[in-house]
A and B are shown apart, each in its own frame.
Chain A
């Protein structure tokens, strides 16, 4: 099975019982997920609900972003601009509504954000998409910086550094006073945007985006105006990023300039790429995983961003398909029952992996404790239930030996074994298809 994005709806092309069984399995899984998501607020766990709210917003933003990165091959370093514009338009509208200037039902507020994202996507996009590749990345970076600086300077539009706050109004018996009511609002928008964006990948225009990404010259030769295609994609992406920003405004009730900063632009890039930019579900997986880790791990360690950076670099280097890619590549293996071929090599690879990760975490945490202000010279560092003295040779020896042995095992045994196992799997898979 190929990727969703690259091959659209090719499930119909592959006839057979296994496919229909898998389709049923997928439908069942989706329905079960939806029911679980609908029931979550009944648990009444506020932390979980607010986490899911953030994940939902991150998912819409990442899906919008992937329209550029994954589907059109445009790497933007400033997409938070449209997210931020959406957030500001919505919060401003909320402020006017509280003043009684006019009335919009709360569930429709994200549309205002979407409109903001669309308008700015068109205005700035006209300029940005004249190029692609590296220069597009540079232009979006510069536009992002300009817009952030402008937002800080235009005090009475953006509230300067403090930002703007406004309150949600009730609608039809919903007060939107509790996090769980906001949760249903966000869930509705996530499902709607997800369906629309997925539908877009199945339209002829969705295919055209891929064509422009893969071979612009040829697309132009066939007679398409590739500039217009890119601009349209940019506008749609801005629209959905704006909806995500609008939801952020509705859920946070406070927006300041940071919402369009490079940090946010970097976040959405990380979410999308770590999740997997070549799969429709990649950004969803990435947004859910990274947001969860971000919120939970930052309670345990201040070095969370180091781990995030290492994860990103590893994905860029070794798994360009992201986490979704790693998952999907195993789909046919499971379907054809070939997992036995892989188990042994994965077992071998697990040894250096565990060793490297454990000593790596030890190294990072140790350095963090050692260099932080909490540490007094000569003190001992409690880590993993043992107190370690930085002055002694032991902690350093553990780390160095662990990393050294780990790398040796990885290069000497793990990589050759996994490569050989996959070769065997691929031979079997291709062998099945050829006759």
Chain B
């Protein structure tokens, strides 16, 4: 029970952070049809920029400056690279973002080195907030949660309550109509890409010091946010939110379960012998599969509900 409550809290926070990343990605996909492979690279850049700024000044300057820088990088990618390829269709765009993903990881290794960099939680937030069942709850987790909620509320208000949000929403389904009405759709593209990148950068800024800031951080998160936007329904911010929470909870809860198929077989008094090739398979613990459960979820969902949870059309 204790483990369950703790995992649930951690999963919720992790899910909120994942939403910060996946909301930008799903908006970009919904509007431009581009699956931005480099989205998680921008998340990584956020962490590294914030680390570098924190070296010169402190964490709080980085918190505000790093996401802006990452947003500018994102806007530049859209303006100078993606826009040129848009007329050739989605495969060249996907190839470009895959190339950028690869290149950014290598450049980060080149500049900051292969090992993790010492990006630390600021001293102001580095204390235990409360203890629950003998486990400490870091104050920084609450800080991350608050930032994520603020982003969620701001994004929601911007999309649902402002004129800009209205145009962005309209561009998801009917970009030609929005153009016909006299709106500058390329500008919308660049803006959405920039804001999405800035959100990814913000996620990197606040997650990089709590987890680890290293060159491989982009790949793992990148795969998970792909799963989230597919599960949530491409282009749906609400869907991305629900899927983020599901994946966040799944990730932290799965680690807590030490059961495997062999335990299930034991219930029926069946056992698989050591020499059988299936021996290893039935002894895979649920906790070991935490890393791949999201992919299984995505594949199952694509079979039974191709639109995703909240998607309007088939992905």
Contact = CB atoms under 8 A, between A and B. Distances in A.
The size class of the interface chain B forms with chain A is 35 or more
Given A141-B223, A316-B92, A371 B110 contact: yes
Contact of A153 (B85, B88, B280, B299): B280
A367 interface: yes
Nearest to B100: A313
A303 interface: yes
Contacts of A156: 277, 279-280
The size class of the interface chain A forms with chain B is 35 or more
Interface string A61-75: 000000000000101
Given A145-B292, A156-B279, A310 B103 contact: yes
A143 interface: yes
A310 B96 CA distance: 11
Contacts of A309: 99, 102-103, 106-107
A217 to B, nearest CB: 15
Interface string B67-102: 000000000000001001100101110111011101
A316 B85 contact: yes
Contacts of B88: 320
B contacts with A: majority SS:
helix
A246 to B, nearest CB: 20
A316 B96 CA distance: 6
Contact of A75 (B91, B277, B298): B91
B177 interface: no
A127 B303 contact: yes
Interface string B93-123: 0111011101100110111110000000000
Contacts of B92: 316, 320
B91 A133 contact: yes
Interface in B212-249: 219, 223, 226-227, 230
A135 B298 CA distance: 11
B102 A134 contact: no
B103 A134 contact: no
Contacts, number: 112
Interface in A121-138: 127, 131, 133-135, 137-138
Nearest to B294: A142
Interface in A93-150: 127, 131, 133-135, 137-139, 141-143, 145-146, 149-150
A308 B277 CA distance: 40
B288 interface: yes
A contacts with B: majority SS:
helix
B95 A142 contact: no
A77, A142, A154 interface centre (most CB from chain B within 10 Å): A142
Interface in A356-372: 364, 367-368, 371-372
B125 interface: no
Contacts of A305: 102, 106, 109
B81, B284, B295 interface centre (most CB from chain A within 10 Å): B295
B291 interface: yes
Given A317-B81, A317-B85, A139 B91 contact: no
B111 A371 contact: yes
B156 interface: no
B83 to A, nearest CB: 11
Given A141-B223, A143-B295, 7 more contacts: A135-B230, A138-B230, A142-B226, A150-B292, A316-B95, A371-B110, A371-B113
9 contacts: A127-B303, A138-B230, A142-B227, A153-B288, A157-B277, A303-B106, A309-B102, A316-B99, A372-B113
